[in-house]
């Protein structure tokens, strides 16, 4: 399971390492980076992932920024609350790529209830699988 952490929305995707691909499953609302923990818990109970990956939004020069610290804190909270192993994954350009995919498909309407953030979570998960 992968999370694309954001201060207003957190994209969620699941996938199979054997296939190396993922699919979007949810957009979790957040208020200033604080997620709806009940929805996160429901997703973890439903999918029962062996591992959780959280995108780490590094700068292009490999330095960290405020969002990196917030994403790391989110990952630590996932591990602390739900006792799942958590890996941080470099997510540079995944949101940019996801926006391009959404726009190429005619906007977010064509993704049904999904959008950029959960599509970015798919890309984060697939990046992890490729490592």
DSSP-based three-state secondary structure for 61: coil
pLDDT, the chain, mean: 87
Arithmetic mean of pLDDT, 119-124: 91
| pTM to 2 decimal places | 0.84
What is the homologous superfamily of the domain 1-31+72-131 according to CATH? YqgF/RNase H-like domain (3.30.420.140)
Contact 34, 52 (CB under 8 A): no
The proportion of the chain whose per-residue pLDDT surpasses 90, expressed as a percent, equals 67
pLDDT at residue 108 tops 60: no
> What is the number of residues in the chain?
131
Name the residue ranges covered by the structural domains of the chain: 1-31+72-131
6-41 confidence digits (pLDDT tens): 999 999 999 988 888 899 999 999 999 899 999 999
Q: At what angle do helices 94-104 and 116-130 cross, to 10 degrees?
A: 120
Arithmetic mean of pLDDT, 63-82: 96
């Amino acid at each position: 399971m992968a999370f694309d952490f954001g201060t207003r929305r957190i994209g969620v995707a699941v996938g199979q390492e054997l296939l190396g691909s993922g699919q979007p499953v949810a957009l979790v609302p957040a208020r200033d980076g604080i997620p709806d923990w009940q929805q996160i818990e429901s997703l973890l109970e439903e999918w029962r992932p062996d591992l959780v990956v959280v995108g780490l939004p590094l700068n292009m020069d490999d330095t960290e920024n405020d969002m990196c610290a917030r994403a790391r804190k989110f990952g630590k909270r996932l591990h602390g609350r739900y006792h799942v192993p958590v890996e941080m994954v470099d997510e540079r350009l995944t949101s940019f790529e996801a926006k391009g995919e959404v726009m190429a498909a005619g906007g977010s309407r064509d993704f049904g209830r999904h959008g950029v953030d959960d599509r970015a979570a798919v890309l984060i998960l697939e990046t992890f699988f490729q490592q």
